[in-house]
């Protein structure tokens, strides 16, 4: 085990997979000479050369479209879009081609590709550069969706994504890049899809989160522990496939659930998870499922107002307190 940042864990995963398989290539804006907008692709060009690490024009639909064609031809592309916000320019390629080609060809071809995208709010980047669009991708069948919260999961999930024969949307929260954690150095360390991680065991309430919200959920649980509230914290890791088995087992035990999401509340994934909890745990719930979500507004630039639009640690702690006192 070695301590490293979330950014370096992703970088290590890319290097290990490119060393392991010569068909793994990296495409994107500024991924070669500049080494990525967030320096995630640092050192790749020097080690693997310009044939495998390609700077692309500022054209997201082209980046994804070329990756789809390359994947159908036997290459394993990792396409980096500078932020998830720019994926909107490539939605035709993502939704109508990347996600559907394998199905439409009856499995005669596969599309083993990954689209890496940083996103999320909290960096004062304004309404067009601070969005959390994970529910967009979850709504489209045919592709996997990963959203790691820790450096170890960032490495293990990306390696699993690159090796998978299905297309993968790989989401990274920009505020996690400098976070640190223990990461296995084993080049065969993989984190499987469809298996959530219980970050902390507890008895009275289940808190479900993903990405940066899983980290805040864990911090909130530690604060609540001092008040005598025993919280179980679940990090989803992957949004597709969604590990409802782990969630339902936890809520059956605790009787209460809080779902945290940074994305907009309307049509957000928290509503879907809450609905499935009601379907699977109706007889054992001791209180209504509580959702803590981003506000349904374009993200403001002002730091103080921006913080009001995204779940914060204090709000999560208070939300759990309120749930514990809420009769059913």
The residue annotated as part of the active site, out of 60, 80, 261, 262, is: 60
Chain centroid to Cα 78, Å, comes to 16
The residue annotated as part of the active site, out of 35, 97, 129, 262, is: 129
Question: Does residue 139 carry a catalytic annotation?
Answer: no
Rounded Cα distance, 84 and 88, in Å: 8
Rounded Cα distance, 259 and 279, in Å: 15
Collect all residues with Cβ–Cβ distance below 8 Å to 300 and sequence separation of at least 6. 127, 306, 309
Give residue for tokens 């640092």: 42
- How many CA atoms does the CB half-sphere of 245 hold within 13 Å? 5
CA angle 294, 260, 237 (to 5 degrees): 115
Question: Does residue 129 carry a catalytic annotation?
Answer: yes
Count Cβ atoms below 10 Å from residue 44 Cβ, excluding itself. 22
Q: Which residues of 150-184 are buried (b: 16+ CB within 10 A; e: fewer)?
A: bbbbbbbbbbbbbbbebbbbbbbbbbbbebebebe
Q: Are 215 and 245 in contact (CB under 8 A)?
A: no
Q: Which residues are catalytic?
A: 60, 129
């Amino acid at each position: 085990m070695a301590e490293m940042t979330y950014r370096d864990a992703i970088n290590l995963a890319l290097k290990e997979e490119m060393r392991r398989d010569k068909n793994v290539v990296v495409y994107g804006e500024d991924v070669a000479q500049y080494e990525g907008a967030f320096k995630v692709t640092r050192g790749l060009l020097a080690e693997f050369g310009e044939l495998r690490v390609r700077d692309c024009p500022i054209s997201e639909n082209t980046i994804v479209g070329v990756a789809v064609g390359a994947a159908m031809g036997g290459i394993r592309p990792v396409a980096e879009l500078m932020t998830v916000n720019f994926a909107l320019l490539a939605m035709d390629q993502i939704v109508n081609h990347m996600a559907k080609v394998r199905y439409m060809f009856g499995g005669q071809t596969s599309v083993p590709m990954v689209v890496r995208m940083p996103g999320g709010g909290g960096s004062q980047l304004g309404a067009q550069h601070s969005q959390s669009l994970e529910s967009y991708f979850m709504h489209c069948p045919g592709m996997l969706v990963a959203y790691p919260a820790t450096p170890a999961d960032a490495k293990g999930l990306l390696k699993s994504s690159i090796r998978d024969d299905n297309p993968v949307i790989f989401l990274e929260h920009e505020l996690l890049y400098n976070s640190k954690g223990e990461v296995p150095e084993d080049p065969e360390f993989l984190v499987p899809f469809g298996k959530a991680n219980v970050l902390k065991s507890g008895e009275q309430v289940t808190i479900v989160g993903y990405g940066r919200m899983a980290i805040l959920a864990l911090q909130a649980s530690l604060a609540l522990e001092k008040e005598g509230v025993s919280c179980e914290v679940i990090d989803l890791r992957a949004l597709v496939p969604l590990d409802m088995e782990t969630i339902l087992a936890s809520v059956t035990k605790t009787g209460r659930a809080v779902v945290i999401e940074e994305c907009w509340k309307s049509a957000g994934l928290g509503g879907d998870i809450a609905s499935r909890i009601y379907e699977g745990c109706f007889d054992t719930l001791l209180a209504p499922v509580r959702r803590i979500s981003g506000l349904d507004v374009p993200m403001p630039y002002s730091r103080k107002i921006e913080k009001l639009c995204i779940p914060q640690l204090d709000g999560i702690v208070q939300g759990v307190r309120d749930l514990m006192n809420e009769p059913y």
